[in-house]
């Protein structure tokens, strides 16, 4: 299976959001990656439902929504209603993760869980077969443009091994500091989806940068 590229819209130009969304539509990207931050779970606030609803009206591709918020259960139906296709919650924010994952699926979305850099992958052992996606944070969540954490390769390998042993079929997504310098090593470790924000949108030619990541 060819790997997927998910440009992170948090790094787009919000003064020209439709233009940047159309760039992603016309590129080799597979998904739109949308980071929702509440200023509580992470020390930053990003964008909420009205922006995602607008992006959905521009987008012709999968909307991959990553909730960096406390108590995500309150908003599951809302994100389904505004067009999310994949909804990822943080392990660290969910008291009843199994219930949350099934609530996401009941609303017709793919269910994902994200792990902060300090959270070991084996904590997901009991829900591996309930997952459609696991997002490994390769930076500390909350801000774009951070440096990649080298320990990520080992975590991806461990998670890929758990997937193999359990017979689960979730996708492994990497979020933070991804570029053409580390993409191949991440894919070789077992990654399926690469999220890239600043590396794409701050480049001279974002469309070509996406193509370069797709062709790694």
pLDDT at 146: 74
pLDDT at 142: 75
Name the active-site residue from 35, 64, 130, 192. Answer: 35
191 closest CA partner among 175, 212, 211, 168: 175
pLDDT values of the chain reduced to their tens digit, one per residue, 216 residues: 599 999 999 999 999 999 999 999 999 999 999 999 999 999 888 898 999 999 999 999 999 999 999 999 999 999 999 999 999 999 999 999 999 999 999 999 999 999 999 999 999 999 999 999 999 999 988 766 678 999 999 999 999 999 999 999 999 999 999 999 999 999 999 999 999 999 999 999 999 999 999 999
Name the active-site residue from 20, 130, 132, 175. Answer: 175
pLDDT at 147: 84
Are the CB atoms for 92 and 116 separated by under 8 Å?
A: yes
Exposed / middle / buried, residue 51 (Cβ in 10 Å: 0-12, 13-18, 19+): middle
| DSSP 8-state assignment for residue 107 | T
Q: Is 188 helix (H, G, I), strand (E, B) or coil?
A: helix
**CA atoms of 11 and 17, how far apart (whole Å):** 10
- The pTM assigned to this predicted structure is 0.96
Exposed / middle / buried, residue 27 (Cβ in 10 Å: 0-12, 13-18, 19+): buried
pLDDT at 1: 58
Arch. (CATH architecture) of 4-214: Alpha-Beta Barrel (3.20)
Answer yes or no: 192 catalytic: no
Q: Is 49 helix (H, G, I), strand (E, B) or coil?
A: helix
Token pair 């480049």 is found at 203
Domain extents in the chain: 4-214
Answer yes or no: 35 catalytic: yes
- β pairing state of 133-137 and 86-90: unpaired
pLDDT at 145: 66
């Amino acid at each position: 299976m060819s790997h997927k590229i998910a440009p992170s819209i948090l790094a787009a130009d919000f003064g020209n959001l439709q233009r940047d969304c159309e760039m992603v539509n016309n590129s080799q990207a597979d998904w739109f990656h949308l980071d929702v931050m509440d200023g509580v779970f992470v020390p930053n606030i990003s964008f909420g439902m009205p922006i995602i609803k607008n992006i959905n009206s521009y987008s012709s591709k999968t909307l991959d929504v990553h909730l960096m918020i406390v108590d995500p259960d309150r908003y599951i139906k809302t994100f389904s209603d505004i067009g999310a296709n994949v909804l990822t919650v943080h392990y660290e924010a969910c008291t009843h993760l199994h219930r949350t994952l099934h609530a996401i699926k009941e609303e017709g979305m793919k269910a994902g869980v994200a792990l902060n850099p300090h959270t070991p992958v084996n904590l997901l052992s009991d829900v591996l077969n309930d997952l459609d996606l696991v997002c490994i944070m390769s930076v500390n969540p909350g801000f774009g443009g951070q440096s990649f954490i080298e320990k990520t390769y080992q975590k991806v390998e461990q998670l890929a091994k758990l997937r193999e042993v359990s017979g689960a079929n979730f996708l492994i997504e990497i979020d933070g500091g991804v570029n053409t310098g580390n993409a191949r090593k991440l894919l070789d470790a077992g990654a399926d989806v690469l999220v890239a924000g600043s590396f794409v949108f701050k480049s001279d030619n974002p469309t070509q940068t996406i193509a370069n990541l797709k062709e790694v």
